[in-house]
Structure 1
Amino acid sequence: MNANQSRARLLATGAACVTVVLWASAFVAIRSAGEAYSPGALALGRLTAGALGLGVIWTIRREGLPPRAAWRGILLSGVLWFGLYMVVLNWGEQQVDAGTAALVVNVGPLLIALLGARLLGDPMPPRLLAGMAVSFAGAVTVGLSMSGGGGNSVLGVALCLLAAVAYAGGVVAQKPALGHGSALQVTTFGCLVGAVGCLPFAGQLVHQAAHAPLSATLNMLYLGVFPTALAFTTWAYALARSTASRMGATTYAVPALVVLMSWLVLGEVPGVLTMAGGVLCLAGVAVSRSRARGGRVVRVAADARPRPDKVR
C-alpha cells in the first residue's frame, strides 16, 4: 500500500468515526426534541436545517447538479433513508423504550450486508461476518439491558423494523450514486428529497415550533446541522471508498457510544450488562474493519456466479 492509498484509507476511517460519533449524539438530542415535536415535524425540521446547511456549502463549492446517472440512487435514498427512516424511527421511539428501539433498528446492518452482497456484489470476508456477529450480540445485550418491562408495543416494534428496512435500502441505493456524484452532491440532494417528502408535516412543525421550549428547537437544529448535514456527508465520503457491508458493520459502534454519552451528558449510569454489550459492539466493529493479509473471499453478484476475489 503506497502513501496515497494509506492517506485515503485514513481519511475514510476518520470520516466513518465522525459519522458514528455524531449519529450517537443524535439519540441524546432526539430525546429532548421529541418531547415537544411530533415525529413528522421533527423529521421535517431536522431535514430542512440539514438541507439549508448543505445547500450553502454546495453553493460555495460550486459542485453543480449531480450527473443523471446518480439521480436514481439519490431519489431512492432520499425517500427511504432521509425521509421514511427518520419519520418512522421518531414515531417508533415514542412507542417503545430506547433499548428495544436500538435492538430492532440494529437489524439494519445485517440487512445491508445481505442486500449489498446480493445487489452490489459486496465481498463477505469471514472477518466481516464474525465482527457483525459479535457486534449484533453486543447490540442485543445493550437492548435487553435497557428495555423496560411491559412498555413495548407491537406498533412500536413494527415501526422500528420498518426503520431498519428503510435504512438498509437507503444505504444500498446510495452506494451506486456515489460512483457518479460526489459525497456532497449525493447527500445534499438526498436530504432535499427527504425534506420535500416530509412537507405534509409543515403545518405541525409551524404550530409546534411556536410553543416548543428553546432547548427542544435548538436540539432539532443541532440534529439537522451535525448528525444530518455533516454526518451524512462524512458517511457518503467513507461509503464511496468502502463497501456497504463494511460501513454498515461500522455503525454497530453507535449503541456503545450512546451508552457512554448518556452516562456523561445525562448522568444515566449504565449497568454491568449494558457496559459489557457496549464493549462487544466495539470489539465486533474492530474485527469487521480489520483486514487479513492475502485473504480471499467469495464475491456474490446478482448477475454472476460466485468467484474468488481479494478482500478490499
Structure 2
Amino acid sequence: MSDAACTNASSASPVADQRWMVPLSLFALYVIWGSTYLGIRYALVSYPPFTLAAIRFAIAGVLLFAVLRFRGEAMPTARQWKNAAIVGTLLLAGGNGLVCFAEQSVGSGIAAVAVASMPLFAAVFSGIYGEWPSRGETAGLLLGFLGVIVLNLGAGLAGSPLGAIALIVAAMSWAFGSVWSKRQDMPKGPMNTAAQMLCASVSLAIIAFLHGERVPAHPEAGATAALAYLVVFGSIIAFSAYLYVLKTVRPALATSYAYVNPPVAVLFGVALAGEHVGGFDLAGMAIILIGVGIITMMRVRKT
C-alpha cells in the first residue's frame, strides 16, 4: 500500500468510527439513561439518595480506572484532576445526586420530565461563551420542551416543592458542567469518565455524611440489583457515551437525550411497573421526538 493510500485510510477511519459511534452513543443515552430513573426508584428502597449515588460512582470509577491503568492509559495531570473534580461534582453530585434526592418524593417519570429542561439551560450557558444555538436548533429545543409539558399533562403533579426545586437545580448544575467542561483541559478518552466518577464519589460521600445518611446493613436484593444496573449500564456505558458525544457533536444534539428520556422512562414504567399511558403521554412523546429530529437535521446541515 502506498503512503497516500495509508494516509487516506487513516484519515477515513475516524470518520467511519464517528458514523457508527455517534448513533450508538445517542442510543445509549436515550434508552439506558431513560431506564435509570426507574432503576434509581428501585434502589432507593434500601439505599439513601446521596449514599446510593456515592456507592454507584465509586464502584464504577474504581473499576474503569483500574482497567484503564492496566491497559497503560496515562494518569491525568494535576490540572486535569482539578477540572475533573469540578465537572464531576457539577454533573454527578449536583446533577445525579439531586435527582436521587428528589425521587424520594417525586415519581421517576416526573423526575425525567423536570430534568428535560436541561438543554434550555445548556443553550443559555453556551450563549454566555458566544455559542448561541441556531434558529433551527432553538425551534427544536422549544418544541422539545413543549413536548415534555404535554407529556406531563397526562399525570398528576404530586411531587413535593423541595423535590421539584432539587430537580431544577440538578438540571442547571448538569447543564453548566457540560458547557464548562468543553472549554477545559480534561483527561483524555475514557479516563475522563473514570476521573469524574472518582471525584464525584468523594463529593457525594461528604454530602451523604453531612445529610446524616448511612450505608444500609441489610439491603434488599432487588435494590442491590438496581444499584448494579446503575453502575454498569447507567454509569460506565451511558456516561462514557455522553462524554463522547459532548466532545463530538454540537451541544444541542449532545443534550437532546433529556427530551427522549421522559417517554423512555414512561415506557419502562408501563412495561415493568404496571403504569398506564394516556393520550397526553403519547402526544408528548411524539412532539419530543419531532423536536429531537429537528435538532438532528440542523446538526447534519452544519457538518
TM-score (norm 1): 0.84
Pick aligned residue for 1:152 from 154, 159, 166: 159
Q: 1:289 aligns with which of 290, 293, 296?
A: 296
**Which deviates more from structure 2 when the two are superposed, residues 70-79 or residues 251-260?**
70-79
Could you tell me which runs of 5 or more consecutive residues in structure 1 were left unpaired when the two chains were aligned: 296-310
1:274 aligns with 2:276: no
In structure 2, C-alpha distance between the alignment counterparts of 1:234 and 1:102, rounded to whole Å: 19
Question: 2: distance between equivalents of 1:61 and 1:205?
Answer: 35
Give 1:156 deviation, angstroms.
1.5
Aligned 1:1-312 pairs, distance under 5 A: 4=13, 5=15, 7-67=17-77, 70-119=80-129, 121-122=130-131, 124-148=133-157, 151-177=158-184, 181-200=187-206, 201=208, 204-206=213-215, 208=216, 210-291=217-298, 311-312=302-303
How far apart are 1:277 and its partner, in Å?
0.7
Distance change (3 Å), C-alpha of 1:34 and 1:62: same
Shift in CA distance, 100/27, structure 1 to aligned 2, threshold 3 Å:
closer
- After superposition, the Cα gap between the structure-2 partners of 1:53 and 1:260, relative to the gap in structure 1 and judged at 3 Å, is same
Tell me, yes or no, if the aligned pair for 1:127 and 1:288 is still in contact at 8 Å: yes
For residues 243 and 292 of structure 1, the distance between their equivalents in structure 2, rounded to whole angstroms, comes to 7
Q: Which residue pairs with 1:305 in the alignment?
A: none
Contact 1:42 1:205 in 2 (8 A): no
Structure 1: how far apart are the matches of 2:295 and 2:160? 33
Q: Deviations over 1:132-186 (max 9, x none)?
A: 11111111122232334xx332212111111111111221122234x65323111
- 1-side partners of 2:81 and 2:252: how far apart? 22
> Aligned-pair distance for 1:267?
2.9
Task: Tell me if the contact between 1:15 and 1:234 (Cα under 8 Å) persists in the aligned partners.
Answer: yes
TM-score, scaled relative to structure 2: 0.86
Distance 2:172 2:161 in 1: 17
Shift of 1:192: 0.5
Q: Calculate the aligned-residue CA RMSD, in Å.
A: 2.3
Aligned to 2:6: none
Give the deviation of 1:193 after TM superposition.
0.6
- Whole-Å separation in 2 of the counterparts to 1:290 and 1:197: 38
Shift of 1:190: 0.5
Matched letter for residue 203 of structure 2? G
**Pairwise CA distance, 1:199:** 2.0
